[in-house]
Structure 1
Amino acid sequence: MIPLLALSLLALWTSPAPALGGANDAEDCCLSVTQRPIPGNIVRAFRYLLIKDGCRVPAVVFTTMRGYQLCAPPDQPWVDRIIRRLTKTLAKSKRHSS
Structure 2
Amino acid sequence: MAPCVATLLGFSLLVLWTSPAPALGGANDAEDCCLSVTRRPIPGNIVKAFRYLLMKDGCRVPAVVFTTLRGHQLCAPPNQPWVERIIWRLKRSSAKLAPDSTRGSPASE
TM-score by length of 2: 0.66
Distance apart, 1:96 and its partner CA: 6.5
Amino acid at match of 2:80: Q
Distance apart, 1:79 and its partner CA: 0.1
Q: From 73, 77, 80, give the equivalent of 1:73.
A: 77
Max Rg structure: 2
Mind listing any 5+ residue stretches in structure 2 that lack a counterpart? 1-23, 104-109
Distance 2:56 2:68 in 1: 25
Give SS of 1:30's match.
Answer: coil
Q: From 25, 30, 38, give the equivalent of 1:19.
A: 25
Mind listing any 5+ residue stretches in structure 1 that lack a counterpart? 1-17
Distance 1:41 1:96, change over 3 A: farther
Q: From 49, 61, 68, give the equivalent of 2:65.
A: 61
State the number of aligned residues. 78
What value does the CA root-mean-square deviation take over the aligned residues?
A: 2.0
Distance 2:89 2:57 in 1: 25
Which structure carries more relative contact order (alpha carbon 8 Å, separation 6+)? 1
Q: Once the two structures are aligned, what percentage of the paired residues are identical?
A: 71
Determine whether 1:94 maps to 2:103.
no
